[in-house]
Amino acid sequence: MVTTYQNWIGGRWAPARSGGTRENIDPASGELLGIFPRSGAEDVNDAVNAAQQALAAWRAMPGPRRGEILFRAGEVLVRRKEEFAREMTPEMGKVLKETRGDVQEAIDMTYYMAGEGRRCFGQTTPSELPDKFAMCVRQPVGVVAAITPWNFPMAIPAWKIIPALICGNTIVFKPASDTPKSAWNLAKTLEEAGLPPGVLNVVFGSGGEAGTPLVEHPVVDLVSFTGSNEVGRGIALKAAQLGKRLHLEMGGKNAIIIMDDADLNLALDGVIWSAFGTSGQRCTAASRLIVQRGILDELTKRLIARTEALRLGHGLDEGTDVGPVVNHEQLVKIDGYMEVARKEGATIACGGSIANVGALAKGFFFRPTVLTDVKRNMRVAQEEIFGPVIAVIAVDSLEEAIAVNNDVPFGLSTSIYTRDVNQAFRGIEGITTGLLYVNAGTIGAEVHLPFGGTRGTGNGHREAGQAALDTYTEWKTVFVDYSGKLQRAQIDVEAAKP
């Protein structure tokens, strides 16, 4: 029997008001996994109103008490990690070791941010006037809309929801339509941990039917969105018109730079993992390989051999290296870029086609692909393909590699492989992405450090670490004057005499 799931609004589970539903499908097999609400503006309005009603009590709860609820949620996630991972793989497609990592990121974020309940530090500073105390404190923004993608269906929601909660905000969460069960599992975890009704509300539905009314709702104070640049720019325009605070995390066209002196075995391990992990469907996936010419032929030959050896299959099968892409639309998009590559003069060295033989024909599988003879200005070197495709670009020097790396509309993640510490530090200085790895691949975040990018990747905010607190709080500056008389800043201050 297939289970029918519901929205979580005001502490109650309820179907969409319209009665509409949407099927959750396994992208590897086509199997029906569950039925979820197809929510609309009425459901969004119910959820936002519930969040608004819960806000005063939640923000008044002492931070350490909020932290205790999140610690309990972390314990639930630990106990159910394997269960949640095994339910995530069939709905998203990535292999089991990666879905375990997805849940682990949610665990790490929950424990880390729970500790902020006893910190969430402000600032104190000397006043320029006598008998006067000056300080800054954080306060919650208010009602937060969290809109998340399908590629990390538990980690990315946790990156938004958990920091927002510990800061005293209430939330309406609209997860991706392709991965609703993982969002449901996260919501159930917080419910089990004792989160008060209305503090977190979950509305399942499409971007057009549920996401747009959520962004436009007048009671929503902050929109936090992770997804495509196209959708993010549309949200940015709407948020500007409505005067809403906005946090965007969008695309990437990430590169691995490999210098002549690099450890090729280590570099190849990093390339394979970064390019083809999650079937290339990570915002930090490596889609460009910038290689110094002295090792170009050897590295390319070994990369093609490693890529052709990767095994496609269902993510729950232990022998699988690369799972399916998330849906048919994404499969068609990736396949379309192969014709773009050919027309621009690139060579498809391996892969480059839909895998539709045998059991693979039931799902959305694309063969891991290496493109060679790629020039820096080609579309396949500039646009985010979001699939298991990597483009090899030859360069003559570190300076050229840095220039090629920075010459894209995005600025999320870069990796450089070299044994020369001087080259490594020149790369650190010259590369203009938000994340930089030396002798490691482009993927892999740590929750206590800021995550985000430059240029078209975002709008200046960061997720995770202390930086996340700046997204979900506002600063309040407080002056306490105990002089017993009127003091006027600047006016009553004389310049210090030498």
The pLDDT tens digits of the residues spanning 158-204 come to: 999 999 999 999 999 999 999 999 999 999 999 999 999 999 999 99
For residue 286, is pLDDT > 70? yes
Domain 254-438: assigned CATH number: 3.40.309.10
Average pLDDT over residues 237-244: 96
Q: Which helix (H) or strand (E) holds 138?
A: strand 132-140
Domain ranges of the chain: 7-250+458-478, 254-438
Whether residue 148 has pLDDT greater than 80: yes
Tokens of 72: 């309990």
Alpha helices in 388-420 (DSSP H): 398-406
Confidence of residue 43 (pLDDT cuts 50, 70, 90): very high
Look at the block and give the residue holding tokens 């919501």. Answer: 187
Contacts of 484 (CB under 8 A, 6+ apart): 131
Q: Exactly one of 120, 167, 283, 350 is catalytic; which is it?
A: 283
Q: Which of 249, 350, 384, 463 is catalytic?
A: 249
**Confidence at residue 494, expressed as pLDDT on a 0 to 100 scale:** 73
**Amino acid, res. 470:** D
What is residue 373's three-state secondary structure?
coil
Residue 495 predicted with pLDDT over 90: no
Asked whether the predicted pLDDT for residue 279 surpasses 80, the reply is: yes
Residue 341 pLDDT grade (very low, low, confident, very high; cuts 50, 70, 90): very high
On whether the CB atoms of residues 70 and 110 are closer than 8 A, the answer is yes
Question: What distance lies between CA 99 and its chain's CA centroid?
Answer: 14
The pLDDT tens digits for 466-480 are 999 999 999 999 999
Residue 150 scores a pLDDT above 80: yes
> Quick check: 50 and 159 in contact, CB under 8 A?
no
Annotation marks residue 249 as catalytic: yes
What percent of the chain is modeled with pLDDT above 70? 99
The CATH label, of 3.20.20.370, 3.40.605.10, 2.40.160.40, 2.60.40.60, for the domain at 7-250+458-478 is 3.40.605.10
370-404: pLDDT as tens digits: 999 999 999 999 999 999 999 999 999 999 999 99
What integer pLDDT is reported at residue 1 of this predicted model? 83
- Tell whether the model's pLDDT for residue 496 goes beyond 60: no
> Measured between alpha carbons, how far is 164 from 171 in angstroms, rounded to an integer?
8
Across the chain, mean pLDDT equals 97
Burial zone of 71 (CB within 10 Å; 0-12 exposed, 13-18 middle, 19+ buried)? middle
**What are φ and ψ of residue 475, in 5° steps?**
-85, 135
Residue 153 in 3-state DSSP?
coil
User: So what's the pLDDT on residue 498?
Assistant: 58
Q: Is the pLDDT of residue 489 over 90?
A: no
Q: Mean pLDDT throughout 90-115?
A: 98
Alpha-helical segments (H) within 345-457: 379-382, 398-406, 421-430
Average pLDDT estimate for 314-338 = 97
Mean pLDDT (whole number) for 127-153: 97
283 is catalytic: yes
Average pLDDT over residues 87-95: 97
* pLDDT band at residue 493 using 50, 70 and 90 as cut-offs: confident
